[in-house]
Amino acid sequence: MMNWKEWRHITKLDPDKVLGDGAIAEIAASGTDVLMLSGTLDVTPEKLADLYDQVRDSGLPVVVEPADPTGARFEGMDLVFVPTVFNAAHPMFVCGLHKEWVQHFPIDWNKVVGEAYVVLNPASSVGKLTHAKCDLTPEEVAAYAVVAEKYYRMPVFYIEYSGTYGNPAVTKAVSEAAEDIVVFYGGGINSAEKAAEMGQYADAIVVGNAVYDAGPAVLKDTVKAVR
């Protein structure tokens, strides 16, 4: 696997959604760097295992991004990306679930990559679940990125517009504030233009819903746009 810090294009697949026949092969041929298995709601270990079985022979690295401790599967995964939501309304989503995870589950810390999320679409599942305070200025989001990098020493800062296309000024401000922290942008990318716009600031863009809504053909365009 290439160093994950060099990824430019992440394809996010939801264990709670269904992919059509041949979709995995098309995704694998798109040029995307990695498959990230991730969903906010109704992800069970069984659904995760099913999706993993579908993608394990794709030739791509496979990582998981659990929404809660029960979703943190290590078996077969190259890495486990563990989110925290800095602008959540409750510390449960910042450090509380993490405490539960440590208490009740075995953890291979060598595979764990911490992601500091700022969630910016209040209508998204993750926005609703975490009651995220989404009316933030670019400067505020950038300040969170500095907290993540300098205070918490986290490896990833994730700008999450889940389901809607975001404000490029936010991604720009974050990229200017970030020194070593790797910046992911996710939300509403369903065209080469949007991929290019966010990809000029973010280290990696995440394409998720478009795979289901527009079909995997859209991936190739978004991949090309960030190379």
Residues forming contacts to a second copy in the complex (CB under 8 A) are 82, 84, 86-91, 93-95, 98-100, 102-103, 107, 109, 112, 114, 139-140, 143-144, 146-147, 150-154
Q: Which amino acid is at 103?
A: Q
Residue 208 annotated as binding? yes
Token pair for residue 3? 């160093």
Residue 14 annotated as binding? yes
User: Considering the complex, what minimum distance in angstroms separates the CB of residue 5 from a second copy?
Assistant: 16
**Ramachandran assignment for 152, one of left (phi > 0), alpha (psi -120 to 50 degrees), beta (any other):** alpha
Instruction: Write the DSSP assignment of 171-220 as a string of letters.
Output: HHHHHHH-SSSEEEEES---SHHHHHHHHTTSSEEEE-HHHHHT-THHHH
Residue 187 annotated as binding? no
Give the nearer residue to a second copy in terms of CB position, either 146 or 196: 146
Give the nearer residue to a second copy in terms of CB position, either 78 or 140: 140
User: Considering the complex, what minimum distance in angstroms separates the CB of residue 33 from a second copy?
Assistant: 24
Give the side-chain half-sphere CA count within 13 A for 155: 11
Residue 115 annotated as binding? no
Give the nearer residue to a second copy in terms of CB position, either 13 or 118: 118
Q: How far is CA 25 from CA 29, 36, 54, 61, in A?
A: 6, 16, 10, 14
User: Considering the complex, what minimum distance in angstroms separates the CB of residue 62 from a second copy?
Assistant: 22
Give the nearer residue to a second copy in terms of CB position, either 48 or 82: 82
Residue 175 annotated as binding? no
Alpha-carbon span 207 to 190, nearest angstrom? 7
Annotated binding-site residues read 12, 14, 40, 158-163, 188, 208-209
Annotated binding-site residues for sn-glycerol 1-phosphate read 12, 158-163, 188, 208-209
